[in-house]
Chains A and B, each alone.
Chain A
Amino acid sequence: MEALEQQIQEMKARLEGVEKRVPSNKISMIVFSGDLDRALAAFIIATGSVAMGVDAVMFFTFWGTPLLRDKKKQAGGKDLMSTMFGTMLPKGVEQLKLSKMNMAGMGTAMMKSLMKKKNVASLEQMVEMAGQLGVKIYICEMSMDLMGFKREEMIDYPDLTFCGVAKFLEEAMDSRIQLFL
């Protein structure tokens, strides 16, 4: 009898351990690319996830970082390199280009007019919708620092946090789906 009780206790402890390791109904995405098409896909998946009852977390790093800059905001006190990066990289989602068929901007313009014609939400609208739906955004602090971006020049977004790789990994480990875009 005692042996049985002990076995039950052991089973309970093991079950608790297993339960802790079951990931949440969540999707974690790394948005590495700063291309219009990839960013659009990322936001469509994120908003779609929330609609499906799956929480969405987006981690912006490297070329994905500049697309979260606010076109209306300015940040002063930058050194030469930072200023250079700042002017060469897109400032906000409106300035992103297609990864293919950009053709000096012609392809991107054509795609945007097609999207409008076919009623596909623009990236600006998608970001706004993601905010309303509660999609969490993390921005890689190291990318910000590398490219010389300052916190005050990033977009106003309801749930935005600056973080490092550990925060992403914590979220990723607790997610059923992880994507790198």
Chain B
Amino acid sequence: MTETIKADKVMDLKGLPCPMPVVKVSKGIKEVAVGQVVEAISTDPGSLTDFPAWAKTSGNEILKTEQDGKEIHFFIKRVS
């Protein structure tokens, strides 16, 4: 059993190429409160390296990354 994370906000970023997923998620994370979780769904393979880099630089935390076919689900906790 994998633990399920409840997202407070879901962002559909499917079909968007670089730099849109990161640009959109950086805006979207500011719309939830600190400690809340955003689930971002991207189909851009570059996101796999871009999201952790963005999270590290912007000071947010990726709780879990799930791949479901072409879809990549990121569960990101707003830290600051």
Contact = CB atoms under 8 A, between A and B. Distances in A.
Interface string A110-151: 000000001111000000010001000000000000000000
Contacts of A118: 17
Contacts of B17: 118-120
Interface in B1-39: 15-20, 22-23, 25-27
Contact of B23 (A47, A54, A119): A47
A137 B20 CA distance: 20
A69 to B, nearest CB: 25
B19 A44 contact: yes
B18 A52 contact: no
Interface in B31-77: 53-54, 57-59
A85 B15 CA distance: 40
Nearest to B17: A120
A74 B18 CA distance: 34
B20 A52 contact: no
B22 A121 contact: no
Interface residues of B, dominant DSSP? helix
B19 A47 contact: yes
A44 B18 contact: yes
A77 interface: no
Interface string A33-59: 000000000001001101111100000
A12 B31 CA distance: 40
Given A44-B18, A118-B17, A129 B58 contact: no
A121 B20 CA distance: 8
Given A51-B54, A53-B57, A54-B57, A119 B15 contact: yes
Contact of A52 (B15, B16, B26, B27): B26
A27 B72 CA distance: 29
Contact of B26 (A44, A51, A120, A121): A51
B43 to A, nearest CB: 10
Interface of A: 44, 47-48, 50-54, 118-121, 129, 133
28 contacts: A44-B18, A47-B19, A48-B18, A48-B19, A48-B22, A48-B23, A50-B23, A51-B19, A51-B22, A51-B23, A51-B25, A51-B26, A51-B27, A52-B26, A52-B53, A52-B54, A52-B58, A53-B26, A53-B57, A53-B59, A118-B17, A119-B15, A119-B16, A119-B17, A120-B17, A121-B20, A129-B23, A133-B23
